């Protein structure tokens, strides 16, 4: 992603400008023998960092991420550890290892909450969650987590490029969550579980008014209430649909449905549907 690449540019420029030899660092010297994995081999920081850069230049993202993570693991107090941590998160993202990218970004945020690059870390975490959004027929836990993370970026860093891009992604994420409610609502509607369907479509009307799902939600409410014989609610849903989306094919369907009983769209100001729209719109 272009914005992610630009955001890391400052860190990379600093990293490129630093010599890969003769750099001073404070290594872990506790005076006690540490337990190591059998295949563990401590290497000079210059070697690890150089290996990571080589793999990055070759777009070998997964191995680059591991090498940058190794900088922090073996030399956590070195001057390069902080930058390597963020670069590791970015490389995991590029390798489509989003869970690892989120974990690395969270680690950076926890350890360096006041750094200049922390906004980038929050954004990288949010985008990594966003990339894991699945189709509406599957569990939407990742979608909900992505929404929270994107909103966090906007609230914490409102005047940044990250916030502007996150705002666009929030709209798409909300539409996706609304789509999940619609998918379940249609299922209930087709089974004749009209109360269950109404409950789902109501969530869309009350929580996702700005999404592309709202016109269909109002038409489906018209269907469900009509089937239950609750004509005032059906007329209200159709009236609000016609007022806000007069040229929509969904309004045409709702209007034609009411005409079967010689009814017309008519808003009941006391209906929850009317209150929801008056409050939001």
Q: What tokens does 164 get? A: 């502007």
- The neighbour count for residue 152, using CB atoms within 10 Å, is 15
CB 27 within 8 A of CB 75: yes
Q: What tokens does 260 get? A: 């079967």
Phi, psi of 206 (to 5 degrees): -85, -30
According to the model, what pLDDT value does residue 10 have? 55
Burial (0-12, 13-18, 19+ Cβ within 10 Å), 112: middle
According to the model, what pLDDT value does residue 11 have? 57
According to the model, what pLDDT value does residue 174 have? 95
Question: Which of 133, 132, 134 is CA-nearest to residue 103?
Answer: 132
According to the model, what pLDDT value does residue 53 have? 72
CA–CA separation, 68 and 70 (whole Å) = 5
Burial (0-12, 13-18, 19+ Cβ within 10 Å), 201: buried
End-to-end Cα spacing for the chain: 35
According to the model, what pLDDT value does residue 52 have? 73
Q: What tokens does 184 get? A: 């379940």
CB 141 within 8 A of CB 180: no
Question: How many CA atoms within 13 Å lie on the side-chain side of 197?
Answer: 22
CB 118 within 8 A of CB 82: no
According to the model, what pLDDT value does residue 7 have? 64
According to the model, what pLDDT value does residue 16 have? 42
CA–CA separation, 182 and 217 (whole Å) = 7
CA–CA separation, 228 and 28 (whole Å) = 71
CB 254 within 8 A of CB 218: yes
CATH of 1-12+42-132, one of 1.10.357.10, 1.25.40.10, 3.40.140.10, 3.40.50.720: 1.25.40.10
Could you read off the pLDDT tens digit of each residue along the chain, which spans 281 residues?
667 776 666 555 444 444 333 333 333 333 333 344 444 466 666 677 677 777 777 878 888 888 788 777 776 766 677 788 888 899 999 999 999 999 999 999 998 899 889 999 999 999 999 998 877 667 788 899 999 999 999 999 999 999 999 999 999 999 999 999 999 999 999 999 999 999 999 999 999 998 999 999 999 999 999 999 999 999 999 999 999 999 999 999 999 999 999 999 999 999 999 999 875 54
CA–CA separation, 196 and 175 (whole Å) = 21
Span(s) in the chain for CATH 1.25.40.10 = 1-12+42-132
Phi, psi of 266 (to 5 degrees): -155, 125
């Amino acid at each position: 992603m272009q914005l992610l690449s630009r955001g890391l540019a400052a860190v990379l420029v600093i990293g490129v400008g630093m010599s890969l030899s003769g750099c001073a660092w404070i290594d872990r010297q506790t005076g006690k023998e540490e337990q190591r994995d059998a295949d563990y081999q401590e290497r000079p920081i210059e070697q690890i960092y150089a290996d990571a850069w080589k793999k990055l230049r070759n777009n070998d993202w997964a191995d680059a991420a591991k090498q940058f993570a190794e900088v922090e693991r073996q030399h956590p107090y070195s001057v390069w550890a902080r930058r390597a941590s963020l670069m590791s998160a970015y490389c995991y993202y590029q390798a489509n290892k989003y869970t690892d990218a989120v974990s690395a970004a969270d680690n950076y945020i926890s350890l360096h909450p006041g750094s200049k690059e922390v906004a980038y870390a929050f954004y990288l975490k949010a985008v990594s969650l966003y990339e894991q959004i699945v189709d509406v027929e599957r569990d939407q836990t990742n979608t909900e987590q992505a929404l929270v993370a994107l909103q966090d970026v906007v609230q914490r860093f409102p005047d940044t490029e990250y916030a502007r891009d996150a705002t666009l992604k929030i709209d798409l994420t909300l539409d996706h969550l609304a789509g999940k409610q619609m998918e379940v609502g249609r299922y209930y509607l087709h089974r004749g579980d009209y109360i269950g369907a109404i409950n789902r479509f109501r969530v869309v009307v009350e929580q996702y008014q700005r999404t592309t799902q709202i016109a269909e939600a109002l038409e489906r409410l018209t269907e469900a209430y009509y089937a239950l014989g609750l004509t005032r609610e059906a007329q209200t849903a159709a009236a609000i649909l016609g007022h806000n989306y007069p040229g929509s094919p969904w309004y045409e369907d709702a209007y034609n449905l009411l005409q079967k009983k010689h009814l017309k769209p008519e808003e009941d100001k006391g209906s929850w549907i009317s209150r929801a729209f008056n409050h939001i719109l």
